[in-house]
Amino acid sequence: MKHLLALLTLCFATMGFAQLPNGSVAPDFTVTDIAGEEHNLYSYLDSGYAVIIDFSATWCGPCWNYHTSGVFEEIYEAHGPEGSNEVRILFIESDDNTTDEDLHGTGTNTWGDWTAGVDYPIADNGGNIFDLYECAYYPTIFTVCPNRLIQQTGQATAAAHINYFQSGDCAPASSPNDVSLIEYLGPNRTCPETPTPLSVRVMNQGTEPLTAFTLTASTLFGTELLTYDWAGELDTYEMAIIDMGEAIFPSTSMFFIDVTSSDDYDGNNSVSETMNLTSEIATSLVRVRFTTDNMPGDNRWSITDDSGDEVAGIEFGDMTENQTDYEWWVNLGATGCYNFTIYDLIGNGGDVACDISTFNEGGENINTIFTLNNNGNWTDLNKGFLVNEINMSVAETSALPVTLYPNPTAGRITLQGLSARALQSIDIRDAHGKLIHSEQRKSTGHTWTLDLEHLEVGFYILTLTDGNRTVSQSFVRS
């Protein structure tokens, strides 16, 4: 078993690969080491130290290999309290099922004595902190900078660890006025001539309160998109999300957001992203099809609007049958820019097929927006499209409007706004024009509820004859 573990790069604690992402604010904690001394993370950070946290387990072969490599001893001797005094290291044994004997190398679930030759603090029973940082495997090694942001530095060399905590990105606040752009938070896909919101996360990396600054967004080729003047108050290391406003992108392009006001350190004054303009055009009626593999619950899809809000989709686990074709019809109901995304829960993609297509009022497929036939590895794939036509409206021949709801329908549908004619009738045809259902009635009011549960899932055209007028409405049986 030990030889097998030694060949692995990581020891997995849970199924999944999620941990706090780089750039997250580190949760505070206090831990007592095996010598009885308390260590508080934020106290170290507030004193200007970077902190390296090693989440390991005594039974983990890769953890032992890295632990005994001497990397942390080298760093601690040169840059810890007895060296340049820049960094603190905390080793946290994170499997609460192990024992103190395992930690000292005399137990049955260990690779050796983890305390031998180690001067930096070692803490046991740290499973709660491991969970607090959403770790999924051992070893997980984070460097937390004085600004409280984390970076997963992993099983790096001593030089790589040192280069990171000595870099400008990880330096403690030292200049009075230092605006730090942490990350871009807006969309990275839009449509032509579509106003697109831009936002960034900003930190005050200066020693004085930050009260004003200016941000400018521009393309790679120097075209200015937007300028935003911010005013407020941020204390040292305090962060804010800045909504700069909306910009129209002339083409697919890399763009930059920069601090363009006075600033004492320009090494953290810029973030960049690529904005992708979609060329796919759609009507408001789209169909999503998905063919599952042998893990149907690991996939989901969503459609989001230009604000990032999900307007349609399914959840992981909604598809339950292996090697099965699923189909959904969606009425988006509004023009604008949309994004279609498919997700894989564990990141292996799988042997699946998927497409999203758009249709006109006659049920004809006018554009296939996205197609996937893939057995490679991926976590998510997406494609943008622009809805420029609403095709689910009723064609009226009278001032009295007729509406149909709900649409899509699970089986029962209501027509509203009928006249008081003596006889009314409906014909329902499928997407190929075949007559599927006919029904008539004597007028009994301005609404008519139809039971259409016998219809298969799909796209249909309902034609209503109401006296001397005829109206048609597309609808979807979901």
Please give the span between the terminal C-alpha atoms of the chain, in angstroms, as a whole number.
52
Among candidate residues 235, 255, 277, the one where a domain is terminated: 277
421 pLDDT tier (thresholds 50, 70, 90):
low
pLDDT given for residue 216 in this prediction = 98
Instruction: Pull the structure tokens for residue 435.
Output: 């007559």
Please say whether the dihedral angle defined by the alpha carbons of residues 380, 386, 390 and 391, taken in this order, is positive or negative: negative
pLDDT of residue 346: 84
> pLDDT averaged over the chain?
89
Task: State how far the Cα of 364 lies from the Cα of 473, in Å rounded to an integer.
Answer: 15
Q: For residue 395, what pLDDT is reported?
A: 36
pLDDT at residue 424, as a whole number: 85
Share above pLDDT 70 across residues of the chain, in percent, rounded to a whole number: 92
CATH at 471: 2.60.40.3080
pLDDT digits (tens, 9 = 90+) for 239-260: 999 999 999 998 899 999 999 9
Final residue before a domain boundary, out of 143, 170, 197? 170
Residue 281, amino acid: I
Give the count of alpha carbons within 13 A of 208, CB side only. Answer: 8
Residue pLDDT, tens place only, 270-307:
999 999 999 899 998 888 999 999 999 999 999 998 88
Give the model's pLDDT for residue 442.
Answer: 77
d(CA 314, CA 327): 11
Tokens for 360? 């006109």
Residue 396 lies in a domain: no
Instruction: Determine, yes or no, domain membership for 394.
Output: no
Does 311 lie in the same domain as 246?
A: no
- Total domains in the chain come to 4
**Ramachandran bin of 132, using left for φ above 0, alpha for ψ from -120 to 50, beta for the remaining angles:** alpha
Q: Which amino acid is at 190?
A: T
Residues 208 and 262 reside in one and the same domain = yes
Residues 270 and 257 in one domain: yes
Is residue 18's pLDDT more than 70? Answer: no
Average pLDDT over residues 323-329: 86
Pairing type for strands 140-144 and 150-152 reads antiparallel
Domain with 424, as residue range(s), is: 403-477
pLDDT band at 2 (very low <50, low <70, confident <90, very high): very low
Domain with residue 238: its CATH number is 2.60.40.10
Gap between the Cα atoms of 271 and 23, Å rounded: 13
- Residue 333's pLDDT is 76
Where does a domain end: 277, 309, 336? 277
- Same domain membership, residue 76 and residue 23: yes
What pLDDT score was predicted for residue 397?
A: 36
Closest CA to 329 of 455, 188, 143, 178: 455
| Structure confidence by residue, pLDDT tens digits, 392-406 | 543 333 334 677 888
Residue 291 lies in a domain: yes
In this structure, is residue 117 part of a structural domain? yes
Decide if 397 is inside a domain: no
Are residues 225 and 371 part of one domain? Answer: no
Confidence of residue 420 (pLDDT cuts 50, 70, 90): low
Q: Is the pLDDT at 6 greater than 70, yes or no?
A: no
Q: Do 220 and 251 have their domain in common? A: yes
Q: Are residues 320 and 186 in the same domain?
A: no
**Residues 165, 286 within the same domain:** no
Judge whether 271 lies within some domain: yes
Question: Are 22 and 110 members of one domain?
Answer: yes
pLDDT of residue 303: 94
The answer to whether position 196 is within a domain reads yes
Domain shared by 50 and 151, yes or no:
yes
Quick: pLDDT tens for 128-155: 999 999 999 999 999 999 999 999 999 9
158 and 110 within one domain: yes
329-382: pLDDT as tens digits: 888 878 899 999 999 998 888 889 999 999 887 678 899 999 999 767 888 999
153 & 261 share domain: no
In this structure, is residue 105 part of a structural domain?
yes
| Segment 89-95 mean pLDDT | 97
